[in-house]
Structure 1
């Protein structure tokens, strides 16, 4: 016998030791019996089921039967989804369709299903594979499932948190943020959500610790339900109510931690009931599970959020509590940010409104009306302002300006610039000189800002339009610093945009400003505005300006009506920038309201000037002012003759809301008020003028200067609404 034949020998006939070949075969070709295969399948911890070609359940291992809580015999012969009463297999019909596709195509596919059982929910991920016979024909489908409940809810949780990051806090509005939280809460998580905030949070104030109060006052700012109309609500929207410290909500506020409850708890029942006017108690119907989550941000409690379930069979679990806590935590930060913004915006708005004119000094040069609308979006209140400033000689200054930037800093800068404009206007600077001085002020303010100030870069500039109108001749002198040009509506209804030299914005420095003069007919309307009126993200500026011209040209019974027409048409409901609009209708002083005399530079004419002024006052019926006016005329004319540099000397009286006395000469030397010593022969003239009149001052002209003094008319009111 050869060696090869020896190696292939089987066991000896006498039952001796097996040959090496036989021993090796017993290790490599042994096959488990059907009984062992059954043990393996039945003891496999993964549910395995088999559906035949008739799509009926033909086999299920112990894990599969245990997953539905029934023995294998009770579920054999059922179709997918035909689980016995008490169980619900979500997507059962879809599972049957998937099995039918596998039988038809012979290709496997994955499938996810939800199983509700005894108040608990499980998520199963199934892998369906075709089962073939020896000929390769599909005889059935095997379904191997894995319990992916934890992974499913982790995905759901991440998905909801992702939605929260995108949808909660889309605006800086406290109420809107609360609504976004409530709306997200009913999307597959809770059936009913309420959000209550402390009253001071809604007002934008700082919330104090709840541990140091006897009672807390909340407002319900948001509530959402899966049922239309929120029939579960027991507290109407916006109604104020107090929380009892002994309630579940009270304990959550004290602890500052979210909690999970069922409605069987007596404390929660007290929270879900109230006594209406008729004394009948009401209860949130069918609620079986509740989460109470305080809204806390930066260590302070801002409110409380309650999630309730009544339609969803499963109660809230610990994972749900954690998810709710994360949702509310994110919303609380957004609410606190909105509260801080509300406070800053309210402060800036209050500051700005306090700086804007509410009552203007009475004057006869123009009839004015104005509109101011703060922006409701973006970074906050801006620095727009307007003003009407009476000047000497019955003239008036019209001002509109806009500080770059938003917030408290912009409002404060606006206040400083407005005060500076009034101060410079009081010394009767020409429009171009005033803007030059204002430009220097803005540069100074910019230099004073700290180098690391984030806000400093946002308010380092402004635009301004300054116009002076003289009603005695109808002349209007204007200059602008980077500001939109005004519109002029003539009495015949024609509208034009006045062409002014384009000066640089305030704060640039080194560039000159130029003024332009226009003669305005009586009854003309002058429209001054900030760029918020014409800036529109959806339309070109030229198109908006054309519409503004059309709107201003429409007939209007009053300036208020014209203002409202423009604002309603051009300004959106929620403007992105502040809007200021000032309309002024020009007037003329007729010859009966002023008188003038040209006087020689001779001391002898002083008595003539006094007599002329006295006669004019008698003609105007101002007998009570004759004595004082004679003294003022005497002193001012005497000073002009003595120090004015010769002819001409001009005396003018103007009867407006005040009696104005003006004396002009060719000298550019300004007089100064001083107190004369006992033995001085002069130096008391201006002191007398200052003591006898309400205001006095000096303005310079191209040919010299004018000294003026004002006396109030008997019974006149010096202010009027703006």
Structure 2
């Protein structure tokens, strides 16, 4: 055992210390270390008894010297609140590798309520032998440093880093609350309770905090264990937690509170003065109590969580809006079932891709099939989709050809760009409207299919013999980009041809032609099984239309060539009246007679040959169509009382439920629709109306 005072100097300026010669300088160094150093230095002999320890190590840990010196290490270190493994000491003493920076935990007598962490290093003590040979170790020296504050700081930084990495990954409010629990329990707290306001759980915006007011809080996520020693049980998710667990009022920041005999760390979840919820942390009995540093840590974690909750809430609200805008009612099959056998699919993905489809019934038993997609996803894309879809429907009812419709829709898209502050034709910003769109119009009387396409899409047809046509129409520029002309084409398809339209095929690669052909080839399969097979091949947020073309029965069509003379009006009118009586429709034959007379007369007087009249019988309407070879547009006039003419279209407008003009490459068709009563009693819209025969004058 070393002495506290140096012995008398020996020969050649050396001193004797514990039977070992020690120089005066070495003795001075040892004295400084053991008397003045704040680092704990412990010396053990060959029997692993503690023979010397620095005074600082004793005083700072509240241990008396006589309680530890001369005692075996295992017994001595119990007074320091540390459990020592003797075999570790023995391994180092017997020539093993020195142990460096080993972390040891214990509760010293002067601070029994908190666990301390010590960094311990062990080295063997050797004395030089003859010729410099090393002798067996005569003992051990250990350096001990209290690193509790450093370890706690590292743990807090690690927890804060983990919180930023793991909390808020899903943009889901309840999941974010559970992530806060998963990060903090059981490492930081024995149990954690997260509660959110009722408004946040309902997806509504959080309210501003008002002094003295606490909104309703519901338990959203819990974690940890209920202790067997009488600890307060954890609440169930959904339970109302105020007043109670968080106190009568919520604190403005992290705060220690006592509730039911337990100390809890309570913190609000708030951002920019808006309260989203609160969290309560509880440590198990015997664990280290919370400190001011823990309050600072919780403030950082809860601030990050509140921001993530706000982001999730904003995403939830935007997703709700996008879902509402992205959803569209399916049109009744009765409007188009004589033109196509239809199946529609939409694979939602929650990103707001702005995809849409429409099936629009057109005059003359025709049907328009439309698919489109705004290029950049998001809430603005869905809003743009809604405006474009409305424009498509309005333009389609004007009887425009598909490529003319896309040209008008391109102008609408450019106007939207100007409204959003973009200059068309100067490249696309992140929010500038741009869209792809494909329009197909099918005529079930002739089997003609007119197509136009802007941008990219899946557009294929499979004929009844199984042959696939993937080149129905070329790709064209995007709406809002380079503009017209857009790619267009016309085809005459046999009855039973299956047409497939899907939005934005290039974005996800699209299904291969072979797989499309496999899904569409069997003519005996229904369109819905086909649509199911194809929808599984498309990426989320894509829309799909599968339409099998039909032909209007010949018994529902009546057509006459009309000579280019006014004298031909009367026979044509009578033939139409006879056909209406033959069909037994719920419409007054005189109404049909007057409309046919006026339209045919106008065509002969102001149009060009050839002339033709066609009647189309539907379930709810009768369509009268008069075609001529002139492209001049008829217009509605309001004749004066003394005028002998100029009342033809005015009469048609009064008697018909709708009328319009459809332009074609070699002329035009003026049409009028008459609603059927459905009872076949002949009491139509024009009953009792008497007009003279303009062709008989």
TM-score by length of 2: 0.84
Aligned equivalents of 1:396, 1:712: Cα separation in 2: 18
- SS of residue paired to 2:642: coil
- SS of residue paired to 1:485: strand
With over 3 angstroms needed to count, the CA separation of the structure-2 counterparts of 1:114 and 1:311, relative to structure 1, is: same
> Does the aligned pair in 1 maintain the 2:511–2:538 contact within 8 Å?
no
Q: Give aligned pairs, total.
A: 643
1:261 correspondence with 2:257: yes
Q: Which residue of 2 aligns with 1:127?
A: 121
Q: Where do 5+ consecutive residues of structure 1 fail to align?
A: 1-21, 23-28, 266-287, 717-722
1:100 correspondence with 2:91: yes
For residues 539-578 of structure 1, the aligned pairs below 5 Å read 541=509, 546-553=514-521, 558-567=526-535, 569-570=536-537, 575=540, 578=541
Give 1:88 deviation, angstroms.
Answer: 5.2
What CA deviation, in whole Å up to 9, does each residue of 1:13-57 have, x standing for no partner? xxxxxxxxx9xxxxxx99499899679625644322123344443
Question: Please, which of 601, 611, 614 is the counterpart of residue 574 of structure 2?
Answer: 611
Aligned equivalents of 1:707, 1:713: Cα separation in 2: 20
1:651 correspondence with 2:613: yes
What CA deviation, in whole Å up to 9, does each residue of 1:598-639 have, x standing for no partner? 011211222212211111111211153312111110110111
1:111 correspondence with 2:78: no
> Does the aligned pair in 2 maintain the 1:252–1:293 contact within 8 Å?
no
Give 1:317 deviation, angstroms.
Answer: 2.3
- SS of residue paired to 1:486: strand
Give 1:499 deviation, angstroms.
Answer: 3.7
Q: Which residue of 2 aligns with 1:665?
A: 628
Aligned equivalents of 1:320, 1:555: Cα separation in 2: 71
> Does the aligned pair in 2 maintain the 1:130–1:142 contact within 8 Å?
yes
With over 3 angstroms needed to count, the CA separation of the structure-2 counterparts of 1:666 and 1:403, relative to structure 1, is: same
Give 1:414 deviation, angstroms.
Answer: 1.3
1:295 correspondence with 2:292: no
1:521 correspondence with 2:514: no
For residues 667-706 of structure 1, the aligned pairs below 5 Å read 667-706=630-669
- SS of residue paired to 1:566: helix
Give 1:556 deviation, angstroms.
Answer: 8.2
Q: Which residue of 2 aligns with 1:449?
A: 420
Give 1:330 deviation, angstroms.
Answer: 0.7
> Does the aligned pair in 1 maintain the 2:257–2:263 contact within 8 Å?
yes
- SS of residue paired to 2:445: coil
- SS of residue paired to 1:503: coil
Give 1:395 deviation, angstroms.
Answer: 0.7
1:509 correspondence with 2:471: no
Give 1:679 deviation, angstroms.
Answer: 1.9
Aligned equivalents of 1:556, 1:59: Cα separation in 2: 98
With over 3 angstroms needed to count, the CA separation of the structure-2 counterparts of 1:665 and 1:451, relative to structure 1, is: closer
> Does the aligned pair in 1 maintain the 2:354–2:374 contact within 8 Å?
yes
Aligned equivalents of 2:175, 2:530: Cα separation in 1: 34
> Does the aligned pair in 2 maintain the 1:217–1:240 contact within 8 Å?
no
Q: Which residue of 1 aligns with 2:199?
A: 200
Aligned equivalents of 1:161, 1:546: Cα separation in 2: 53
What CA deviation, in whole Å up to 9, does each residue of 1:221-269 have, x standing for no partner? 32222689xx9864333x242512xx4514452x32222234544xxxx
Aligned equivalents of 1:673, 1:517: Cα separation in 2: 32
- SS of residue paired to 2:289: coil
TM-score by length of 1: 0.81
- SS of residue paired to 2:478: coil
Aligned equivalents of 1:221, 1:151: Cα separation in 2: 34
Aligned equivalents of 2:149, 2:428: Cα separation in 1: 49
Deviates more, 1:589-598 or 1:57-66: 57-66
Deviates more, 1:697-706 or 1:617-626: 617-626
Aligned equivalents of 1:36, 1:590: Cα separation in 2: 114
Q: Where do 5+ consecutive residues of structure 2 fail to align?
A: 1-12, 14-21, 680-697
What CA deviation, in whole Å up to 9, does each residue of 1:266-293 have, x standing for no partner? xxxxxxxxxxxxxxxxxxxxxx542111
> Does the aligned pair in 1 maintain the 2:92–2:124 contact within 8 Å?
no
